[in-house]
A and B are shown apart, each in its own frame.
Chain A
Amino acid sequence: MATILEVKHLTKRFVDNEVLKDVSFELKKGETLAVIGSSGSGKSTLLRCLNHLSKPDTGEILLEGVDINGPGINLNTVRADMGFVFQDFNLFTHLTILDNVMFGPLRVRGQSKQEAEEIAMEEIKRVGMVNKIKSYPAELSGGQQQRISIARALALKPKLILYDEPTSALDPELTGEVLSVMTALANDGMTAIVVTHEMGFARSVADKVIFIDQGVIVEQGDPKEMFKRPRHDRTKLFLSNFVNLE
């Protein structure tokens, strides 16, 4: 499979705190990459650097071989090509569910209203929310809002999708519906990077895992292998916090 994303020597510093140190990895089309690590390890910052929600200080990000910071590249187009799903959903409060999902095709991609609606309905179907299209975000549960925010990202027809702790703001009984939508998408061949504390998901759905600690990639590789036989002590220590993985 073709490489879709290549990250080379990324660094990011907030004042005198170096959050990312020389981070490099790559991702192939259709793969799901899970990024794990403790809070404050830099994993969310890494994700936010990928679409320049935070500007990295040095390093390169190549999307399908093109440097996204290169000359003549419109960052907004790059962002539209990378769907982003936030921890706290961030749906547009004044718009109905249908309008939220139509927003990308209509206002970002400049498609017609009819096209936008067709795309939106298709994605809303995909996350199983067709009966709620006329509702407003405030009328939905957290899990439902997160599913809609996934549909909103998908409606842009992104090349890959970035999930920033998509279930961390949810009650435990609501994480399941979101994870199963994400799993179904992964099985459909959607390329994704997931920053997550859901080790079960990382182990069973991801094709690849990165363990990040204090801004450094400590270990990366096959999830089953890493969860069974972590090579580094820090990885071992981190994974020992999740007792019921088996």
Chain B
Amino acid sequence: MEIIKILISELPQFAKGTLVALQLLAGLLSVGLVLGLAIALAEIFGNPVLKFLATTLRKFLWAIPQLILLFLVFYLPFDLNRMVAAIIALGLCSSAFQSQIFRGAILSVSSGQMEAAKAMGLSRPRTILYIVLPQMVRLSIGPWTNEFSSELKDTSLAYVVGVVEIMRNAKYIIAYTYGNTAAVYLFVGVLYFTLTRIGTFFFYKLEDRLWVPGFEKRS
């Protein structure tokens, strides 16, 4: 089995590719988190103008395929590092999905608690900070873990703009080991599977740690 030897000898390359994929993932999830949270807050608490802008932006990002966004950002008429372009494009896309996770979580914080805070004389921004966001975090971890694994897989798309991540590694190997395409993809599939499982394991741990009575538990 020549291909196994080759894969083993390429492990350092895959390790590098994995590191790049994880950096890309961290970057795009952060962009998506900040922008997604901003969209969610604007859609719920914003004035009509802000609300309209946030909803429109979210719908656009929601509807455009990630591949298109990747090429669009990469071919903008100024020089963007490949990695930065991929982080921005995939992060924009993720922000649409994350905004809906946060929006749902915020809306399930009971309006009675917001009213109680108001009746105590707490300002709106402080109510959001001390009452809404802490509960939102707990309610979001489950669906956010979904988004995490979905984006982990989508980092593979970044190979189209030349980011040397796992998928790019695979393509190189396939190019010089003719006929073993399925074996290489199988190996890469197992690699993504392992990364996803490790990631979700930690988010489940976090969810358990943040749990308090009164919030639903993942069964």
Query: A residues engaging B (CB < 8 A)?
Result: 51, 53, 75-81, 84, 86, 88, 90-94, 103-104, 107-108, 135-139, 149, 152-153, 156
Chain B proximity of A166: nearest CB distance (Å)? 13
Chain A residue with the shortest CB-CB distance to B122: A108
**B119 pairs with A53, CB closer than 8 A:** yes
Cβ of A137: which chain B residues have Cβ within 8 Å of it? 214
30 A-B residue pairings within 8 Å (CB atoms): A53-B118, A75-B121, A76-B121, A76-B122, A78-B121, A79-B118, A84-B116, A86-B119, A88-B112, A90-B113, A92-B116, A92-B117, A93-B110, A93-B113, A93-B135, A93-B212, A93-B215, A94-B134, A94-B135, A94-B212, A94-B214, A103-B120, A103-B130, A108-B120, A108-B121, A136-B212, A136-B214, A137-B214, A138-B214, A153-B120
Chain B proximity of A149: nearest CB distance (Å)? 8
Give the complex CA separation of A241 and B212 in angstroms. Answer: 44
5 cross-chain pairs, A with B, having the tightest CB-CB distances, nearest first: A138-B214, A80-B121, A90-B116, A84-B119, A79-B121
Chain A proximity of B209: nearest CB distance (Å)? 14
Give the complex CA separation of A190 and B120 in angstroms. Answer: 17
Chain A proximity of B70: nearest CB distance (Å)? 38
Cβ of B135: which chain A residues have Cβ within 8 Å of it? 93-94
**A90 pairs with B120, CB closer than 8 A:** no
Contacts A80-B121, A103-B130 known; 16 new A-B pairs at CB < 8 A? A51-B119, A53-B115, A76-B122, A80-B120, A90-B110, A94-B212, A94-B214, A107-B130, A108-B122, A135-B213, A136-B212, A139-B213, A139-B214, A152-B120, A153-B120, A156-B120
Give the complex CA separation of A112 and B153 in angstroms. Answer: 47
Chain A proximity of B204: nearest CB distance (Å)? 19
Cβ of A138: which chain B residues have Cβ within 8 Å of it? 213-214
What number of B residues sit within 8 Å (CB to CB) of A?
22
Chain B residue with the shortest CB-CB distance to A155: B120
Cβ of A78: which chain B residues have Cβ within 8 Å of it? 121
Cβ of B213: which chain A residues have Cβ within 8 Å of it? 135-136, 138-139
Cβ of B168: which chain A residues have Cβ within 8 Å of it? none
Q: Is the interface of A mostly helix, strand, loop or mixed?
A: helix
**B121 pairs with A156, CB closer than 8 A:** yes
B126 within 8 A of A: yes
Cβ of A156: which chain B residues have Cβ within 8 Å of it? 120-121
**B214 pairs with A86, CB closer than 8 A:** no
Cβ of B115: which chain A residues have Cβ within 8 Å of it? 53, 86, 90
Chain A residue with the shortest CB-CB distance to B111: A90
Residues 130-151 (chain B) with a chain A CB within 8 angstroms: 130-131, 134-135, 138
Give the complex CA separation of A90 and B130 in angstroms. Answer: 15
Give the complex CA separation of A138 and B122 in angstroms. Answer: 23
Give the complex CA separation of A53 and B115 in angstroms. Answer: 8
Chain B proximity of A185: nearest CB distance (Å)? 18
Chain A proximity of B44: nearest CB distance (Å)? 18
**B119 pairs with A79, CB closer than 8 A:** yes
Give the complex CA separation of A115 and B113 in angstroms. Answer: 24
Cβ of B134: which chain A residues have Cβ within 8 Å of it? 94
Cβ of B214: which chain A residues have Cβ within 8 Å of it? 93-94, 136-139
Partner of A77, one of B112, B117, B121, B126: B121
Partner of B112, one of A76, A81, A90, A139: A90
Cβ of B177: which chain A residues have Cβ within 8 Å of it? none
Chain A proximity of B119: nearest CB distance (Å)? 4
Chain B proximity of A157: nearest CB distance (Å)? 12
**A76 pairs with B123, CB closer than 8 A:** yes
Chain A proximity of B124: nearest CB distance (Å)? 10
Cβ of B120: which chain A residues have Cβ within 8 Å of it? 79-80, 84, 103-104, 108, 152-153, 156
Cβ of A90: which chain B residues have Cβ within 8 Å of it? 110, 112-113, 115-116
Chain A proximity of B74: nearest CB distance (Å)? 42
